[in-house]
Chains A and B, each alone.
Chain A
Amino acid sequence: MIRSHKTKIGDWIIVAICLIIILVCLLPLLTVFARSLSSADALIKNKVLLWPVEFNLDAYKTVLGDSKYVWALLWTAILTVIATLTSMFMTTICAYPLIFDSLKGRKFLNAFIILTMYFNAGTIPNYLLLKDLDMLNKPMVLVIPGALSVFNMIIMRSFFYGIPVSLRESAQIDGAGFIQILLKIYMPLSKPVFATLALFYAVGRWNGFSDALMYMNNRRYYPIQLLLYNILNNIMQVEVASQEGFTMPGMSETLKAATVMIATIPILIVYPFLQKYFISGVTLGAIKE
């Protein structure tokens, strides 16, 4: 009796610790969200903690009225869709053939691919290659060099390995070719891993900025993160703000808060729905061959 009572207290202590952890996780987002919805005046008077003070949507109106920012959002969304589709295609056609024992040279191909995970030529050789290929400053430089992640390919391959061989063997007896087997058997059964990897690729592209920083000088094709970096570091300003001469102190802070929130919201909406998939995806990635 006494023991079960003790366990109960222990349970509540753990819940309390977890609540603190949740608060720490959410605190930065909550405070920035509150700041984005507060007046500049309240902000510089140190009044804004986790709740908006003098609630208004001015910062959002200003940011979403900035054609540069809205275009960057739209462009990054387009880019994310294109990059995710390209990457999923490449990952599938790379992972699928490698699961067949009968594939001659499979050992060599595996080693050839895995090696690139452990040894990378480095930033400058990659940059100079893209320069020689004349890909710099072209939109495709944000899609093609990162089109295939070996790590993700291994996750997909592990998932394919988990599909019973008997399924494809019976299809082969019925005269199905390799591509038919991929389309009719493997892809329909692989929805969880496809969802996971599409999420990884999409988040990677939506969040990526270092490739744009290095390879893209054309401001028109700046993805949202690079624009955000420039705004946060005062390299660029939200257009309307500079035009109308917002000299009010604190205004730039609320604007920055709003730019950060707008770029974050798409991700916050998407990832919880895919949780049950990505957990299994991460676990698969950890399995060694």
Chain B
Amino acid sequence: MEHKKSAAFSKKMRSMKNYMKRHWTLYLLLMLPITYFIIFKYIPMAYIQIAFKEFSIVQSVWEMEWADNNGFEYFLKAFSNRDFLYALRNTLMLNLLDLIVGFPAPIILAILLNELAFKKFKRITQTIVYMPHFLSWIIISGLALQLFAPTNGFVNIFIQKLGFESIPFLNSSFHWVWTYVFLGIWQSVGWNTIIYLAAITGINPEQYEAASVDGASRLRKIWHITLPGIKSTIIILLILSLGRILGSEFDRPYALGNMLVSDVSNVIATFVYTNGIRGLQFSLTTAVGLFQSVIGVIFIFGANSLARRFGERGIW
């Protein structure tokens, strides 16, 4: 019995050895990436306990004292922190506006591009609308500061010539929010058409030909062929956007924001930066970050199962 077992074991070992002999190079290649993921993605997860502990520079994460209220002290503190509540509100508000105003924009532009009859002009248009995607938010903020400059910027010169008061696009809260949303669309609309254009390419051209024979107008073809043809793409991208509703970019609000509009431009990511890395309130800001990550994961799973319920394939 014993003997049999060890024989089977040694046979297994031998086949394993054979396998490794053939495949060790693949594991060798993976070693560096896996190490990278462990160090830079998984070890930070151990630091999450700081959210539940009293941070101290001299102690390791494992040695720190647990915070009050069963460790939830800093979550309670966050939700009684006025700046955080503002940041939470602003994150939701800006993301929601982005979604409502910004989500349909690339769909419309993709359909428009697809309807362009002149191929060369289409290519040039595409090259130009992709361009803003390659600019950093710092550069875009530099462009915006000049374009919307209160008196001598292009837009305000026009507004003044038309006899109106110049508009403080970046210096009053109300206008800033819309400028933020507009610049977001400006930056991403062209790039986001790529995926819709690819989906449109997948539609069977015979459908259009048949519709033309039946005398369908351009708009009817868009409504009855193009839009249904890209429906599943639209839904998948909508899910992804919904999943990010509490996610916050850092670059965009940080680059565009200023002291005059901080009541609307401070989002969770900037709150974490100013209060954590600059303000050294590590427990509080780790708690805020964890709250955001967890809600983010819940949202993306929720949106995904919602899509499945509507008969779409979801993102995984």
Contacts and interface: CB of A to CB of B under 8 A. Distances in A.
Interface string A16-34: 0110011011111101100
A122 B41 CA distance: 10
Given A228-B139, A232-B138, A264-B135, A253 B146 contact: yes
- Specify which of B30, B144, B149, B255 lies most central, judged by the most chain A CB atoms within 10 Å of its CB: B30
Q: How large is the interface on B (under 10, 10 to 19, 20 to 34, 35 or more residues)?
A: 35 or more
B136 A17 contact: no
A174 interface: no
Contacts of B7: none
Contact of B32 (A46, A90, A145): A90
Contacts of A256: 142, 145-146
Given A96-B29, A260-B143, A125 B117 contact: no
A104 B113 CA distance: 46
- Specify which of A35, A43, A125, A289 lies most central, judged by the most chain B CB atoms within 10 Å of its CB: A125
Contacts of A208: 136
Interface in B137-177: 137-147, 149, 151-154, 157, 160
A179 B143 contact: no
A14 to B, nearest CB: 5
A112 B37 contact: yes
A32 B50 contact: no
Contact of A209 (B138, B290, B297): B138
Interface in A159-186: 177-179
Nearest to A283: B198
Interface in A110-146: 112-113, 116, 118-129, 133, 144-145
A49 B161 CA distance: 12
Interface stretch (B78-86, B88-96, B223-231, B272-280): B272-280
B34 A109 contact: yes
A263 interface: yes
Interface stretch (A56-64, A187-195, A240-248, A267-275): A267-275
A125 B194 contact: no
7 contacts: A116-B41, A123-B276, A129-B39, A129-B47, A133-B39, A226-B138, A282-B194
